[in-house]
Amino acid sequence: MAHRSEKILSNKNNLQVLHEDNHIIVVNKRAGDIVQGDKTGDKPLSEVVKSYLKDKYNKEGNVYLGVVHRLDRPTTGIVLFSKTSKALPRLNKLFAEKTAKKTYWALVKNEPPKTSGTLIHWLKKNPKNNKSTAYIKEVEGSKKAILHYKIIQTLDNFYLLEIDLETGRHHQIRVQLSSIGCPIKGDLKYGFNRSNKDASISLHARTLRFVHPVKKEDLKFTAPLPNEAVWNACNN
């Protein structure tokens, strides 16, 4: 029987906290963590963070935590939560207005057609199989998706891409890269030929830049890469 890596999920004791203040907490999500509860019934990262805060501050009652944005379950990287009801609508506004900037890193096996470029597609989500399809022109029910990519490192068997999103569509990076023949390492759903040992995909929310909702300071956070052989070969 083939050996598979044990999937390590976040819990209140091993939570990777990148920053915390009175109003926000920024964590580095592990592959397999689900940001918000869903039909699986698995404990979401939002509840893990609540448990962490409850323990840390010895709180008796319920802990407030606002989910600002999400990452797909098999991806890793930065997730921002709001610790106060004052901060949440302000953070929601930053994300809605695209003034919060997210940069992703992705490992792909095939070389993109250009060293850098902009991809524009219309994506249509199929809720039955939780999958999106990319079209080169608008179709009924589709939404326009734009991303910018560049190759930042060439490894022995993979290319490391840096990706900036202009839109935030369902599985956007995964389906758009797949549509140019560059499925992400481990992403069986979008055409990669084999899974990663821990069922992750090699897509990492690397940096997040935004203005603090209360202090109004410019903030930038960088999430360390997963401790995995191919990621370890990337320049940090």
Catalytic residues: 72
From CA 22, how far away is CA 25, in angstroms rounded?
A: 8
Give the DSSP letter of residue 112: P
Furthest CA-CA distance within the chain: 56
Nearest CA to 217 among 228, 225, 209?
Answer: 209
Both tokens assigned to 92: 């929601």
Q: How many helices (H) and strands (E) does the chain have?
A: 4, 11
